[in-house]
A and B are shown apart, each in its own frame.
Chain A
């Protein structure tokens, strides 16, 4: 019999109080689509689950000197947001392909990122959108760039007494187009074999800036910096994009492994092809605005 207590505080102060009281014996739960599954699969639970679903004011998508997304925003809210779809297209792509409608109705973006799976569908999009992760603790707030947030598989820089409260995407991103592709065998209810995100900014047909994010390509979601550097100040042509794909797929940028879903060599081939395809779609997404 699995036993645990369940607390549902209504303010961050109460959450900090409970985290202090129970320390490592407590775990946070948001939508619960990872936490509840883990408890069932491992037959192990923390002594106390602290639900964040009472923090109702952490559900929002705002544009005000950059973009602000509350940690408890559900994937369904992101999927249905016109602002996300047109201006943060990669995030729309990522949020709308997670699980099913039933899962997306409860699962939160904060939970997806804190769970820190190498396959997290919102991680790649947030990487190429230059997101910062805002953490709040009893001593106040701090923000870290998302590329520093993941420290290992299922590991992050979040301290035990902190809560992820918001994602911030810089205003500059409104000039970028972006796209994410979840490469998987089915269209729904699946984890990606590989995820490729690209964002770029164009000056006529010259790529003035670019970001590439890869998921399931390393122990954490990663940026392909060398491939990004290569793209800068080059023309948006098939040859250039193909070369960027090759660099992104090289050991300089990623370290995919053999797993149940796909072998490393296969993942590298997908990266090579999909970096170019996503760059094309990202460019289209600028024009379609």
Chain B
């Protein structure tokens, strides 16, 4: 299997991965960097459990060829808390609002929420729903999730 060397910024640090050319960004994050926050749910870009932020935009890392990460800035759930472990306001809001049930969708939900709030600090409820439409929560706790994101937006003002 042909390997490829890809250099990018991962959660603020420059990194280089030597991985098979067919690997997705998700597989590289999980298998090479052992960052298992992003999950493989469906593997075809429907469930959003693999959501990470690339150059400011939420993407499905399962469909993102690792080759395309060259030179880009990638942020995962592991990179959003402070260096000292202080949780990001979106993480705190999810905890305080019971926005987490089984937790499988949570990393993806939070990354979609972060991409949204970075681009639009004061979203309407409809904006929030549009931006997490690609993140499935099969516990169906959407109401608490939407409220958590609204709360995070207020806290981050």
Contacts and interface: CB of A to CB of B under 8 A. Distances in A.
A115 interface: no
A262 interface: no
Nearest to A49: B65
Interface stretch (B74-82, B89-97, B129-137, B143-151): B129-137
Interface stretch (A2-10, A123-131, A241-249): A2-10
B131 A101 contact: yes
Contacts, number: 85
Contact of A5 (B21, B57, B60): B21
A188 B64 contact: no
Interface string A44-82: 010001010100000000000000000000001000000
A41 B134 contact: no
A40 to B, nearest CB: 6
Contacts of B115: 101
Interface string B101-114: 00000000000100
Q: How large is the interface on B (under 10, 10 to 19, 20 to 34, 35 or more residues)?
A: 20 to 34
A171 interface: no
Given A2-B22, A41-B44, A102-B48, A189 B133 contact: yes
A239 B133 CA distance: 38
A8 B71 CA distance: 13
A187 B58 CA distance: 19
B45 A3 contact: no
Interface residues of A, number: 29
Contacts of A29: 65
A51 B58 contact: no
A4 B65 CA distance: 12
A5 B133 contact: no
Contact of B22 (A4, A8, A105): A4
Interface of B: 1-2, 4, 21-22, 24, 43-46, 48, 51, 57-60, 63-65, 67-68, 70, 112, 115-116, 130-131, 133-136
The 5 closest A-B pairs by CB, nearest first: A100-B134, A188-B133, A105-B57, A36-B63, A37-B44
